[in-house]
Amino acid sequence: MPGIVIVGVQWGDEGKGKATDLLGERTDWVVKFNGGNNAGHTVVIGDEKYALHLLPSGILSPGVNAVIGNGVVIDLEVLFAELGALQARGVDISRLKVSANAHIITQYHRTLDKVTERFLGKRMIGTTGRGIGPTYADKINRTGIRVQDLFDENILRQKVEGALDQKNHLLVKVFNRRAITVDEVVEDLLSYAERLRPMVCDTGLLLSQALDAGEVVVFEGGQATMLDIDHGTYPFVTSSSATAGGAATGSGVGPNRLDRIVGIVKAYTTRVGSGPFPTELFDENGDFLRSRGFEFGTTTGRPRRVGWYDAPITRYATRINGITDLVLTKLDILTGLTEIPVCVAYDVDGERFDEVPVNQSDFHHATPILEYFPGWTEDISTARTFEDLPVAAQEYVLALEKISGTRISVIGVGPARDAVVVRHDLLD
């Protein structure tokens, strides 16, 4: 089972980093295939806590080859800061490979991200402000800067000139900002070129060869299904393909190399930024989940919006991604609730919807139809087998499995690497 994709089911922060890390010891390669430093993955190993943004979480496992794929957008300052911080903590970063075709986030992308948001006012998306959207927009517009451009100053200069010709009009005339000079951008990018050069290669070729040799490759998705540019709650989404299809295009291997698709889903739901969220809570239950689950963004520190588990979303994600296994995380956070509501369908202006409505306005108006399950009070953080869980927790998991339509193979019962109940081996 060599090609394994990890994708978020909901709106991100489901615990994808921990899931990748969990597979780390039995993995040969980990590739990040979408997004950039908008992601934030917290991984806890023993007493050590790591927060990763741009690098795939698999880099924390000794012996794993880490890859930044062509589908990623790279902020070079962040890349080297993150590498430096890991190296200072004794993590081996020598096996990182970076795709020559990945796009580069520059100063003007970051500036445009922030000013566009400010301009949108009440209609803002609530982006992370890292320049993600404008960089992907340039990629699609064919005015982007790629990693390989850094090794030919002439080409780099021409491309930056071309991009700034347009962008400076926008920055100065529309957004009332100062113009950005070609020299400052080129100089900044070139300052990283020599450090980057040894990492750069045809990563699609490397990964295909690894798969041919029967090695295990984990494709680590950033963001999640409901933030996907095509399948998420557009326009309140990120600008990349965060679903399983993106694993093939974003890393340069054929879709038939993706053998298993693992969806990571929280035992409740969270969202950062604007957009529809049918099960969102504004009461003391919301405060309970936010404080117990420590639901504050790893990247921006923003409090996350919280709500109950939404089964139609899991069914939707299963269909869009072809999910074969679910990892249910943060079950321990629900301990102490007398009853646990689960959304099984939506009510949209009096009409019942069993699946996610295709019309975005309907989804905005959707209110959850809830079913209630008994809670438990026992501490479950030391459970390591399904039978160790209290009966009510077992029943909650079995109910979610049934309404979601996919087997729950792993259950998270705490932040630590070993705080899991494995029901089915993800690599089998």
Q: Please enumerate, by residue number, every residue annotated as part of a binding site for GTP.
A: 12-18, 40-42, 304, 330-332, 412-414
Alpha carbons 44 and 255: distance in angstroms, whole number: 32
Alpha carbons 156 and 146: distance in angstroms, whole number: 9
Alpha carbons 295 and 298: distance in angstroms, whole number: 9
Out of 18, 32, 167, 231, point to the residue binding ligand GDP (CB under 6 A).
Answer: 18
Alpha carbons 125 and 123: distance in angstroms, whole number: 7
Out of 97, 103, 130, 266, point to the residue binding ligand IMO (CB under 6 A).
Answer: 130
* CB nearer ligand GDP, residue 15 or residue 69: 15
Q: How far is CA 81 from the centre of its chain?
A: 20
**133 is a site residue for ligand IMO (CB under 6 A):** yes
Q: State the pairing for strand pair 420-422/408-412.
A: antiparallel
Tokens representing residue 427 in the block: 């690599």
Alpha carbons 220 and 136: distance in angstroms, whole number: 19
Size of the site for ligand IMO (CB under 6 A): 23
Element counts in the chain: helices (H) and strands (E): 12, 20
Stretch that binds ligand IMO, among 32-40, 67-75, 330-338, 407-415 (CB under 6 A): 32-40
Out of 126, 276, 322, 375, point to the residue binding ligand IMO (CB under 6 A).
Answer: 126
Alpha carbons 67 and 33: distance in angstroms, whole number: 9
Among Mg ion, ligand GDP, ligand IMO, none, what does residue 132 contact (CB within 5–8 Å per kind)? ligand IMO
**CB-based contact 326:9 (threshold 8 Å):** yes
Residue 21 beta carbon to Mg ion: minimum distance, rounded to whole angstroms: 13
Residue spans of beta strands (DSSP E) within 10-70: 29-32, 41-45, 48-52, 65-68
Residue 24 beta carbon to ligand IMO: minimum distance, rounded to whole angstroms: 17
Q: Which helix (H) or strand (E) holds 212?
A: helix 203-212
Alpha carbons 374 and 178: distance in angstroms, whole number: 59
Among ligand GDP, ligand IMO, Mg ion, none, what does residue 330 contact (CB within 5–8 Å per kind)? ligand GDP
What part of residues 31-60 is at the interface with Mg ion (CB under 5 A)?
40
Annotated catalytic sites, by residue?
13, 41, 139
Binding marks (x or -) toward ligand GDP, 26..45, rule CB under 6 A? -------------xxxx-x-
Q: Which residues are annotated as a binding site for substrate?
A: 298-304
Q: How far is CA 201 from the centre of its chain?
A: 24
**CB-based contact 369:321 (threshold 8 Å):** no
**101 is a site residue for ligand GDP (CB under 6 A):** no
Binding marks (x or -) toward ligand IMO, 187..226, rule CB under 6 A? -----------------------------------xxx--
Out of 4, 9, 10, 13, point to the residue binding Mg ion (CB under 5 A).
Answer: 13
Size of the site for Mg ion (CB under 5 A): 3
Out of 6, 105, 132, 207, point to the residue binding ligand IMO (CB under 6 A).
Answer: 132
Name residues whose C-beta falls within 8 Å of residue 343's C-beta, 6 or more positions apart in sequence: 278, 279, 308, 309, 310, 311, 312, 368, 369, 370
What part of residues 294-353 is at the interface with Mg ion (CB under 5 A)?
298
Alpha carbons 369 and 412: distance in angstroms, whole number: 26
**CB-based contact 95:65 (threshold 8 Å):** yes
**413 is a site residue for ligand GDP (CB under 6 A):** yes
Binding marks (x or -) toward ligand GDP, 307..346, rule CB under 6 A? ----------------------xx-xx-------------
Applying CB under 6 A, the residues found at the interface with ligand IMO are: 8, 11-13, 38-41, 125-128, 130, 132-133, 222-224, 227, 238-239, 272-273
